[in-house]
Amino acid sequence: MKRSLGLDLGSVTCGIAISDPMGIVARAVETVRFEPDNYEQCLEKVLEVIKREKPDEIVLGLPKHMNGDIGIRGHISEDFKAMLEEHVSIPVVLWDERLTTAAAQKILIAADVSRKKRKKIIDQMAAVQILQSYLDSK
């Protein structure tokens, strides 16, 4: 089976998740931080994780508006996909990430995680939601 790496790209952080070797369950890996809108810096850090984790594919969250339109954040994700594809020889898949951060928030609140801790791990949890949604679709 394929091992997949999930990414939730933001303007200063990128949450990262990885699937188990069977490609069934996603788990959080880390959150990389970078200077605001410095996606080259983010790319360097993500490439380090890719080298370490050795995934077979990358699933990058694609933010869409509720009506399905792709806005500025979505275009940034498309550009980041192109940047990744210049540096890796594995497939990079864009995956609809609508409501994943909200779902991650609900999970953390239900688990009684403090607001301070939620802020630190919300991006990882959103990456888990993106990747798990992708894995479940297969």
- pLDDT tens digit string along 80-115? 999 999 999 999 999 988 666 666 667 667 766 677
Give the whole-angstrom CA distance, residue 33 versus residue 54.
21
Cβ-defined contacts of 71-77 (< 8 Å, 24+): 76/9, 76/39, 77/9
- % of the chain exceeding 70 in pLDDT: 86
Structural domains of the chain, with CATH: 4-137 (3.30.420.140)
Given the structure tokens 């801790």, which residue do they identify?
A: 117
Sign of the CA dihedral with 96 first, then 98, 101, and 105 last = negative
Could you read off the pLDDT of 51-74 as tens digits, one per residue?
A: 999 999 999 999 887 787 888 999
Task: Report the alpha-carbon angle 100-104-107, nearest 5.
Answer: 140
The torsion angles phi and psi of 49, rounded to 5 degrees, stand at -65, -40
pLDDT at 64: 80
Distance set, CA 53 to CA 20, 70, 104 (Å): 11, 30, 23
Nearest residue to 111 via CA among 128, 125, 129: 125
